[in-house]
Amino acid sequence: MPRTARDVVFVDGVRTPFGKAGPKGIYHETRADDLVVKCIRELLRRNPDLPPERIDEVAIAATTQIGDQGLTLGRTAGILAGLPTTVPGYSIDRMCAGAMTAVTTTSGSIAFGAYDVVVAGGVEHMGRHPMGEGVDPNPRFVSEKLVDQSALFMGMTAENLHDRYPHITKRRADEYAVRSQEKAAKAYADGKIQADLVPISVRRTNEEAMGSPQPGGRGEETGWGLATADEPMRPGTTLEQLANLKTPFRAHGRVTAGNAAGLNDGATASLLAAEDVARELGLPVKMRLVSYAFAGVEPEVMGVGPIPSTEKALAKAGLSIGDIGLFEVNEAFAVQVLALLDHYGIADDDPRVNQYGGAIAFGHPLASSGVRLMTQLARQFEEQPHVRYGLTTMCVGFGMGGTVIWENPHWEGK
**SS3 of 273, please?**
strand
Tell me, rounded to whole angstroms, the distance of Cα 372 from its chain centroid. 5
- Is residue 39 annotated as a catalytic residue, yes or no? no
Q: Report whether 93 contacts 367 (CB < 8 A).
A: yes
**SS3 of 246, please?**
coil
What is the rounded CA–CA span in Å between residue 389 and residue 277? Answer: 23
Alpha helices (H) in 271-333, listed in sequence order = 275-281, 306-317
10 Å Cβ neighbour count for 221?
11
Give the alpha-carbon dihedral of 382, 17, 373, 409, to 10 degrees: -20
- Is residue 364 annotated as a catalytic residue, yes or no? yes
The catalytic position among 28, 96, 125, 162 is: 96
Q: Report whether 260 contacts 332 (CB < 8 A).
A: yes
10 Å Cβ neighbour count for 114?
12
Alpha helices (H) in 165-219, listed in sequence order = 170-189, 206-210
The catalytic position among 28, 39, 129, 395 is: 395
10 Å Cβ neighbour count for 238?
11
Q: Report whether 363 contacts 261 (CB < 8 A).
A: yes
Query: Residue 361's closest CA among 189, 181, 206?
Result: 181
The catalytic residues are 96, 364, 395
